[in-house]
Amino acid sequence: MSKIAEKFEEIRVNNTKGFIPFITAGDPGLETTYELILKLADLDSTVIELGVPFSDPMADGPIIQLSAQRALENDDVTIAKVFDVVRQVRQKTDVPIVLFGYLNPFLQFGIDELRSEAKNVGVDGFLITDIIGEEFIKMSENFAQSDIDLISLVAPTTNDERLEKITQAARGFVYAISRAGVTGTRNELSNEAKKLVERTRKFTDLPIAVGFGVSNSQHVNEVLDYADAAVVGSAIVSVIEKSEKEKTVENVSKFVKELLEVESSPSLAG
């Protein structure tokens, strides 16, 4: 069983819910990324999604696009440098870490090398936004040999036939996109998210996390009424963008604590 699966099993046994924050590696700098991961682990994150900066992030809205740009400009962040951060983090915490990114940089690194190095440094999973079909299945089986989960994405536009195929190859958890489009903060969540989770549960017993547009405590509360975990990305990245570098960790910590003040839903646990 992978570390991600173990974490969600712990949540199931304790009848609690999950929280998955996203940050971009290298924004505003790799040293700060290291500190942010440790802080988010201390705040009982279930899994941490660590974005690998890419010059053409098609699935991301402007907030995360700009964070990737800052990371590339500030520290010239590469996959190798992201692995170095995870290696350092593993001396302090065992919180599951998923690398979020696009297929092209991973292909350039080399898939077998990617799996080997990920296993060596302690990466627990990958979420690759633009890999589909047989290519996804092949890579998922490859990574599973090292207990590394390739996380599946499903969207409101995914029909039931395709949903069944995707979930059959899924590992760790299923990431349900709350709405079609790109990442970004929103005032209200789409009512399609709940319908998508209900449809997905027909085909898998894996935990389901909902993200894209989950921006405040009300959203988290709403998501946790029907999903196993809430994913918060752009809202956290926005806090990072607006913070002075030396205040980044403090400001993110304050925001996440406020975000997780969820009264009516089952308690969160990491």
- 49-53, 60-64, 155-159: range with lowest mean pLDDT: 60-64
According to the model, what pLDDT value does residue 10 have?
Answer: 94
The answer to whether the beta carbons of residues 99 and 123 sit under 8 Å apart is: yes
- 29-33, 54-58, 98-102, 159-163: range with lowest mean pLDDT: 54-58
CATH of the domain at 30: 3.20.20.70
Classify 58 as helix, strand or coil: coil
- 23-32, 115-124, 149-158, 261-270: range with lowest mean pLDDT: 261-270
- How many domains, the chain? 1
- In angstroms, the first-to-last Cα distance of the chain is 17
Beta bridge partners of 51: 24, 100
Catalytic residue ranges? 49, 60
Specify whether the backbone of 45 is left (phi greater than 0), alpha (psi in -120 to 50) or beta. beta
Confidence band for 184, pLDDT divided at 50, 70 and 90? very low
- 184-188, 225-229, 241-245: range with lowest mean pLDDT: 184-188
Q: State pLDDT tens for residues 245-257.
A: 999 999 999 999 9
Question: In whole numbers, what is the pLDDT of the chain averaged over residues?
Answer: 90
- 16-25, 56-65, 132-141, 149-158: range with lowest mean pLDDT: 56-65
Confidence band for 54, pLDDT divided at 50, 70 and 90? confident
Has residue 155 been placed in a domain? Answer: yes
pTM: 0.92
Q: How far is Cα 26 from Cα 75, in angstroms, rounded to an integer? A: 6
Mean pLDDT of all residues in 24-41: 97
Has residue 268 been placed in a domain? Answer: no
Q: How far is Cα 20 from Cα 13, in angstroms, rounded to an integer? A: 18
Most confident of 87-96, 126-135, 138-147: 87-96
| Distance, CA of 144 to chain centre | 18
Q: Residue 142: which domain range?
A: 3-259
Q: For the chain, how many helices (H) and strands (E)?
A: 12, 9
Has residue 270 been placed in a domain? Answer: no
Mean pLDDT of all residues in 19-47: 97
Q: How far is Cα 149 from Cα 152, in angstroms, rounded to an integer? A: 9
* In the predicted structure, residue 232 carries a pLDDT above the cut 50: yes
Mean pLDDT of all residues in 116-136: 94
According to the model, what pLDDT value does residue 182 have?
Answer: 45
- Closest C-alpha to 65, from 75, 55, 73: 55
Mean pLDDT of all residues in 8-12: 95
What is residue 155's DSSP assignment?
Answer: -
According to the model, what pLDDT value does residue 59 have?
Answer: 60
According to the model, what pLDDT value does residue 269 have?
Answer: 53
Amino acid at 45: S
Q: How far is Cα 76 from Cα 78, in angstroms, rounded to an integer? A: 6
